[in-house]
């Protein structure tokens, strides 16, 4: 799937995905499909996750915000690549799970915090990279404001017919963006376009 970064391959090889999905769905952990972990919440399929992670270009000294960390799988992998990870989740049950699973996976440099996904976590900003686990319909302005100079935000932008990976980069105070690969990933709650009045 064109994921050529050996650091990402090693990190994904070191973390057991099946530990981060409900036991009833453990057989799907490595399948190339999103796996439901809670109502309307999913673990990204391995291909989409790995390609988005490669797009983020996370370096060993980076501070990373992992948005919608779910059960903590993405944060556990990112913890292998970065200096520190703030794992942000708004669902209380998922926060509890991530708080248990991340230490068990050896991710001592990751901390779990509960809060609104779309608001990010200003207390840890600025971040060198922000990783958004799912598709969004609107430009994530609040998250982009939490990027450090040279920082990257990666996510999937959803249109009417498909989702495409995007990378946003802060350079000299300005935010640039470019599209990358296509993917089929679930929409994240809170990042949908507001529906106006229809007459």
Q: What is the pLDDT of residues 31-80, one digit of tens each?
A: 999 999 999 899 999 999 999 999 999 999 999 999 999 999 999 999 99
- Residues of the chain with pLDDT > 90: what percent? 90
pLDDT at 193: 66
Confidence of residue 120 (pLDDT cuts 50, 70, 90): very high
pLDDT at 190: 73
The Cα-based distances of 89 to 65, 98, 118 in angstroms read: 11, 9, 10
pLDDT at 159: 85
CA nearest neighbour of 95 among 147, 140, 28, 41 = 41
Q: Which residues of 134-145 are buried (b: 16+ CB within 10 A; e: fewer)?
A: bbbeeebeebbe
pLDDT at 25: 92
Indicate if the pLDDT at residue 170 is higher than 80.
yes
Whole-structure pTM over 0.75, yes or no?
Answer: yes
On average, the pLDDT of the chain sits at 94
- Alpha helices by DSSP H, listed for the chain, are 6-14, 46-56, 73-81, 92-104, 141-144
pLDDT at 194: 57
pLDDT at 1: 75
pLDDT at 191: 77
Confidence of residue 192 (pLDDT cuts 50, 70, 90): low
Distance of alpha carbon 155 from its chain centroid, rounded? 7
The rounded distance, in Å, linking the Cα atoms of 65 and 67 is 6
Q: What is the pLDDT of residues 9-26, one digit of tens each?
A: 999 999 999 999 999 999
């Amino acid at each position: 799937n064109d994921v050529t970064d050996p650091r990402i391959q090693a990190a994904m090889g070191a973390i057991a995905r099946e530990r981060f999905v409900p036991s009833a769905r453990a057989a799907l952990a490595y399948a190339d499909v999103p796996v439901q972990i809670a109502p309307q919440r999913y673990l990204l399929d391995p291909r989409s996750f790995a390609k988005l992670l490669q797009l983020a270009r996370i370096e060993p000294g980076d501070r990373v915000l992992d948005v919608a960390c779910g059960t903590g799988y993405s944060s556990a992998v990112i913890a292998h690549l970065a200096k520190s990870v703030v794992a942000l989740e708004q669902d209380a049950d998922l926060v509890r799970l991530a708080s248990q699973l991340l230490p068990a996976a050896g991710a001592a440099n990751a901390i779990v915090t509960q809060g609104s996904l779309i608001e990010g976590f200003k207390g840890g900003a600025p971040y060198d990279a922000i990783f958004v686990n799912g598709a969004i319909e609107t430009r994530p302005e609040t998250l982009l404001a939490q990027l450090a100079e040279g920082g990257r935000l990666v996510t999937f932008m959803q249109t009417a017919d498909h989702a495409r990976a995007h990378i946003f980069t802060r350079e000299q105070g300005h935010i640039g963006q470019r599209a990358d690969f296509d993917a089929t990933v679930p929409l994240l709650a809170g990042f949908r376009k507001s529906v106006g009045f229809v007459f």
